[in-house]
Amino acid sequence: MPKIKLFEVEAPEIAAKAKPGQFIIVIHGFKGERIPLTISGIDPQKGTISFAFHEVGKTTKELGLMCEGQSIDNITGPLGNPSEISKFGNVLCIGGSVMIAPLLLQSKAMRDAGNSVTTVLGARSKEFLMMEDEGMKLSHALYVSTDDGSKGNKGLDFLSELLKKEKFDRCVVMGPVVMMKTVSDITKSFGIPTVVTLTPIMIDGMGMCGVCRVTVGGKMQFGCVDGPEFDGHKVDFEELIKRQRTMLPEERLTSELWEIGECKCGRSKA
């Protein structure tokens, strides 16, 4: 079963500058790839930032083996535009899977800005759910949803009921694309402004390669410099889902080669 890890790293310059909603690019190893990760904690006093990741690919699995005290070769950030935080009123914050961690950073910022925050945490099954206690502390109300119904509500259908009962002024969603699409479809019928945080494939993360391009309201936008937050009611999710799958076979290959330890790169697993 894939594991989720939460790292806190010393990066004082980034910590001094980062805002909720922004991301970093992590590069580890001479032959490593650049991977974007959303910032999930910022402590300017301590000079640290945190981020969570799912051990699904080679790079994340390798990062997952790192121990306290080791250092990552390069972290570039903060990147992307910060979240729009202000007093909206009633805010519905929905986080899924590994993106629960950055979502809660945003929930906290929303609460500190004087909003009443309702939080929904979702995952595939109860084993993948995380940070419920943290969510509880920040929220006026907390709901849990799993795809298989092993904990809380089954799926996201309950959202429609919730939206019928309660009025929300804004909805923010961070999670897998399919989840963000489902939520956006539901909130659209209720006319609730909905902001989604997109995590398309990226390389440089600063507007150079264009691999993160998404269609928003019929216009081409770059996830890294124009986003990562966009109006969920305008994003072409179908296209985004297809684009995210373009390198899957290659990602599986590196991951599997790494798993069986036959990676030719010379970096040992330990």
Partner 1 sequence: MAEAKPKPKIKKEAVEMPKQEPYVRVKNFNEVALGYDEAMALEEASRCLSCVKPQCVTGCPVEVPIPEFIKCIREQKYAEGIAKLKTKNALPAVCGRVCPQEEQCQAKCVVGKIGHPVSIGRLERFLADWERDHGFQIPPKTPPTGKKVAIVGAGPAGLTAAADLVNLGHEVVMFEALHVGGGVLVYGIPEFRLPKAIVQNEVTYIQKLGVDLRLGNLIGRIHTIPELMKEGGFEAVFIGSGAGLPQFMGVPGENLGGVYSANEFLIRVNLMKAYKFPDFDTPLRLGRKVIVVGGGNVAMDCARSSMRLGADVCLLYRRSRDELPARKEEIENAEEEGLVCKFLGAPLALHGDEKGWVKSMDCIAMELGAPDDKGRRSVKPIPRSEFTMETDTVIVAIGQTPNPIIQRTTEGLQTNPRHGTINVDAVGKTSLEGVYAGGDVATGAATVISAMGAGKRAAKAMHEYLMSKR
Question: Which residues of the chain form contacts with partner 1 (CB under 8 A)?
Answer: 13-14, 17, 25, 27, 29, 31-34, 58-59, 73-79, 203-204, 206-211, 213-215, 220, 225, 239, 242-243, 245-247, 249-251, 253-254, 257, 263-265
CB of 26 to partner 1, least distance (A): 10
Residue with Cβ nearer partner 1 (32 or 152) = 32
Residue 115 beta carbon to partner 1: minimum distance, rounded to whole angstroms: 26
Residue closer to partner 1 by CB (options 59, 146) is 59
Residues 6+ apart with CB under 8 A from 129: 100, 121, 123, 144, 146, 151
Q: Does residue 228 have a cis peptide bond before it, meaning omega lies within 30 degrees of 0?
A: yes
In whole angstroms, the minimum distance from the beta carbon of 50 to partner 1 comes to 18
Nearer to partner 1, 57 or 176 (CB): 57
Helix axis angle, 177-190 to 158-165, nearest 10°: 30
Phi, psi at 80, each rounded to 5°: 80, 170
Residue pointed to by tokens 């109860």: 126
**Who contacts 118 (Cβ-Cβ below 8 Å, separation ≥6)?**
90, 91, 92, 93, 139, 140, 141, 142, 143, 166, 168
Helix, strand, or coil (residue 77): strand
CA distance from start to end of the chain: 20
Within 191-262, where are the H helices?
A: 237-244, 248-259
CB of residue 88 to partner 1, shortest distance in Å: 25
CA 198 to centroid of chain Cα atoms: 8
User: Shortest distance, CB of residue 121 to partner 1, whole angstroms?
Assistant: 29
Task: Work out how close the CB of 197 gets to partner 1 at its nearest, in angstroms, rounded to a whole number.
Answer: 17
Nearer to partner 1, 65 or 265 (CB): 265
Nearer to partner 1 by Cβ, of 14 and 123: the residue is 14
Q: Closest CB to partner 1 among 27 and 144?
A: 27
